[in-house]
Structure formats: structure tokens, C-alpha cells
């Protein structure tokens, strides 16, 4: 039988297991699922100070530990991430906007970039990181 995380406690336990598997893991101040193309970066799902389970699940796949960085997810990686985060859908106590965005992006076949912002005060050279940092700063300010 496939693993499920039907309660908030199960979600928290899964997050703690993933965090423990990444030595030096630091939760990002903000992170996002984006689409990056010739026209720039489009933020699909922005997370500020929250939704740490999908952030750490994706980090476990792409090798992110701390700080600010952007990682392109090819279709096989996107499918792998979806499979790893799918048990969270069993918890009906909360919405799952990141899971739903990942599922939609995988079905649409879009190239996805996951972006982590480690320090909101630190401007970034990567346009995807800077776009997410600015969007997160705007959200925090509202």
C-alpha cells in the first residue's frame, strides 16, 4: 500500500524526516515554482515563510541545502517530485497549492524552475531568484 499523510501531524512528521536527511538544511525565507522563458520569469506559486514540506522535498531531489538558488526541473524530475509529495494530498485539513501547481505544470509539460530565497535582504544575480525575492518582499509588505 502506498504511503499517505492524512493528518497535519503526518505532514509535519514527513517534513521533519526530509529535513533530517539534508545535512545543514535551512528553510528558505521564500521559495516559488516558476516558469522561465525568453520573456522572463513567471511566478506560478509563491511561498513566503511557509509550505516547508514541498520546499524540502524538492530540495532533496535537486540537492539544495541553504541560501538562494534556482533549479530547472526537467519532466522526469518534475514527475519524481510529484510522486514524492503526493502522499500529502491525503490530508484534507489544508489546501495543497504547491502540489496542485506541480501536478498542473507536469500535465502541461512546462519547464519549471524552483527558486529558493535564503535571505530576503540579499539581492541576487539570478533573474529568477531576484524576481521571487521581489515578489516575496511585496507580499510581506502587504
Residue 2 lies in a domain: no
Task: Give me 115's grid cell.
Answer: 527558486
Instruction: Report pLDDT for 13.
Output: 98
Domain holding 30, by residue range, is 8-141
| Separation between Cα atoms, residue 103 and residue 34, nearest integer Å | 13
Instruction: Report pLDDT for 72.
Output: 95
Sorted by sequence, the CB contacts under 8 Å of residue 119 that are 6+ apart come out as 29, 67, 68
89-132 tens-digit pLDDT: 999 999 999 999 999 999 987 779 999 999 999 999 999 999 99
Residue 1 lies in a domain: no
Residue 58 lies in a domain: yes
CA neighbor of 19 nearest in space, from 55, 43, 69: 55
Residue 99 lies in a domain: yes
Q: How many residues does the chain have?
A: 142
| Separation between Cα atoms, residue 127 and residue 50, nearest integer Å | 22
Instruction: Report pLDDT for 142.
Output: 53
Total number of domains constituting the chain: 1
Supply the CATH number for residue 42's domain. 3.30.70.2010
Residue 73 lies in a domain: yes
CA angle 140, 119, 53 (to 5 degrees): 75
39-84 tens-digit pLDDT: 888 999 999 988 999 999 999 999 999 999 999 999 999 999 999 9
| Separation between Cα atoms, residue 3 and residue 72, nearest integer Å | 27
Residue 3 lies in a domain: no
Amino acid at each position: 500500500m502506498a504511503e499517505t499523510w492524512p493528518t497535519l501531524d503526518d505532514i509535519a512528521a514527513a517534513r521533519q524526516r526530509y529535513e533530517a536527511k539534508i545535512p545543514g538544511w535551512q528553510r528558505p525565507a521564500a521559495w516559488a515554482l516558476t516558469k522561465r522563458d525568453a520573456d522572463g520569469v513567471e511566478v506560478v506559486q509563491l511561498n513566503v515563510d511557509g509550505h516547508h514540506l514541498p520546499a524540502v522535498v524538492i530540495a532533496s531531489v535537486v540537492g539544495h541545502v541553504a541560501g538562494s538558488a534556482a533549479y530547472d526541473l526537467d519532466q522526469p524530475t518534475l514527475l519524481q517530485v510529484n510522486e514524492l509529495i503526493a502522499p500529502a494530498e491525503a490530508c484534507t485539513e489544508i489546501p495543497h497549492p504547491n502540489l496542485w501547481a506541480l501536478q498542473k505544470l507536469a500535465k502541461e509539460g512546462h519547464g519549471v524552475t524552483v527558486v529558493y530565497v535564503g535571505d530576503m535582504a540579499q539581492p541576487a544575480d539570478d533573474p529568477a531568484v531576484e524576481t521571487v525575492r521581489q515578489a516575496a518582499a511585496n507580499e510581506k509588505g502587504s
